[in-house]
Chain A
Amino acid sequence: MKAVMIKVHEVWLETLMAGFMSNTHNKQTLFDFADILFRHFTWIENTLINAGEKYNYDRDNVPIKVETLKALLKDINLRLSDIELQLMSLEDKALSSRIASDIRYMINVLTRMHDENISAFNMHRVLEGHPLSQEARDALTLFLFEEGYKEYELIMIYNYLKTHSQDAYMNRIFQILIDESMFHLKCFGDMQAKMGILATPRVVMKELYQVTDIVKFLKDGINEEILAKEECKRLSEAVAKDNADLAHFFDFINNQENYHIALMEDALNHYQEVNGIE
């Protein structure tokens, strides 16, 4: 079952990356499928927890460098077919049947999806319609690599915390934070693909998500969000003189961090109150 979870994790990422690469109406379908696969991942994870099996989020690197979308879709389909075969190992037959049904549908749609030439790896570092100076392009490049990974890391951390918590109040907050990070990851991944610098996020180290001290984690997280706000502000200023639209976008992301901070403070207060921590 652990092997299935790892494979679903990998194909979720690969499908999400395919969504970033696409410049046609394929994009939305790929994003929808990626969302479904992420849910499969969390359901299988939940089954592992219920069965008392130890697991982690280690996985192989997911190679995505292709010249045509078809090449990646072919690989996604191979992975999905492999998962469908391995679903036999799941004891929860209702779950394996649901996942298998989704997989069969996805394979069918992906097989018929029209091809596209891929420019997500050309390293041109040009954002069409958004002229930028060399300095602003460099700042944006570094920001996208840093924050793109960070959003994936946050998704994995909040997901792990949510799956291991029975506290509905905390879980509501963790789910909002997962959704917010998904949105940010999609924004940054899309930009990376447009600039020709798309990359799969690296594997997250266990120490980051296997949180033993929730209070410390939330306090550190609040400080990190404050730093992330500073990064957005710096980037907004760096691109402002060349491109007002892009500056507005990073101001918008910056302001969203305020809500993340408020949510984490809320989670911190609740956790301390429930557990009698001063």
Chain B
Amino acid sequence: MTVDEQLVMHMMEPKNYGHMESADAFGFGKNPENGEKVVIYLRIGKDEEEPYISDIKFQAIGCSTTVVAGSMLTEEAKGLNLEGAKNLVNATLNLLDKLPPEDAACSEMVALAIAAAVETYEHRVSEPDYPAITYKIKSTCTPKEEEYESSND
């Protein structure tokens, strides 16, 4: 990971980190390989009847990279309408190939948690007790050389 000033700022003061009391919806992104997970909490506002993310928070069981990804993506998601949030998720998922494996896994986990929270909200509009959705990531956190080493053990 390239350590620049922006990255250090996100590590020192992650944006939107923490639990949200009485969120309108929440969703999870999980890494089934190592048990790491991200939870996204949403508060939904209405702008001329159009729902949008008026507040967003996240918590993570994971590494600093996950926290940086959570800090950056939640900042981008704040204020978006639900379609905008889905576009943000898709744009992030389309970028994963260009990232190192550990960064890709962390970003995917956050993006999928946002998708899960948005979709949970959409379900809850008609079914208020709809359970929080969980998505599992497909990326692997293991850098390629480590995979090679372990396959040769």
Contact = CB atoms under 8 A, between A and B. Distances in A.
Interface of A: 58, 60-61, 65, 121, 123, 125, 137-138, 141-142, 145-146, 149, 197-199, 202-203, 205, 207-208, 220
B12 A61 contact: no
A208 B36 CA distance: 11
Contacts of A145: 11, 64
A61 B1 contact: no
B29 to A, nearest CB: 14
28 contacts: A58-B19, A61-B17, A61-B18, A121-B12, A123-B5, A123-B8, A123-B9, A123-B12, A137-B3, A138-B2, A138-B3, A141-B3, A141-B8, A142-B1, A142-B64, A145-B11, A145-B64, A146-B64, A149-B64, A197-B11, A198-B12, A199-B12, A202-B17, A202-B18, A203-B18, A205-B59, A205-B60, A205-B61
A204 B84 CA distance: 30
Nearest to B63: A146
B63 A203 contact: no
Taking each of B8, B9, B19, B35, which has the highest tally of chain A beta carbons within 10 Å of its own beta carbon?
A: B8
B67 A197 contact: no
Chain A interface SS verdict (over half): loop
A202 B19 CA distance: 11
Nearest to A198: B12
Interface in B54-99: 59-61, 63-64, 67
Given A146-B63, A197-B12, A203-B18, 6 more contacts: A123-B12, A198-B12, A199-B12, A203-B17, A203-B59, A205-B39
A217 to B, nearest CB: 11
B27 interface: no
A2 B58 CA distance: 23
Interface string B1-44: 11101001101111001110000000000000001000100000
Contacts of A208: 61
A99 to B, nearest CB: 27
B150 to A, nearest CB: 13
Nearest to B67: A202
A203 B20 CA distance: 12
Contact of A199 (B11, B18, B61): B11
Contacts of B11: 145, 197, 199
Contacts of A121: 12
B104 to A, nearest CB: 17
A107 B51 CA distance: 48
A-B interface, 4 closest residue pairs, ranked by CB to CB distance from nearest: A138-B3, A199-B12, A145-B64, A145-B11
A122 to B, nearest CB: 11
Nearest to A140: B3
Given A61-B17, A142-B1, A142-B3, A207 B12 contact: no
A220 B34 CA distance: 10
Taking each of A58, A138, A145, A205, which has the highest tally of chain B beta carbons within 10 Å of its own beta carbon?
A: A145
Nearest to A125: B8
A197 B8 contact: yes
B22 to A, nearest CB: 14
Nearest to B3: A138
A25 to B, nearest CB: 27
Contact of B61 (A58, A123, A198, A207): A207
Contacts of B14: 202
A123 B64 CA distance: 17
A141 B65 CA distance: 12
Contacts of A142: 1, 3, 64
A138 B11 CA distance: 13
A203 B14 CA distance: 11
Contacts of A202: 14, 17-18, 67
A202 B67 CA distance: 9
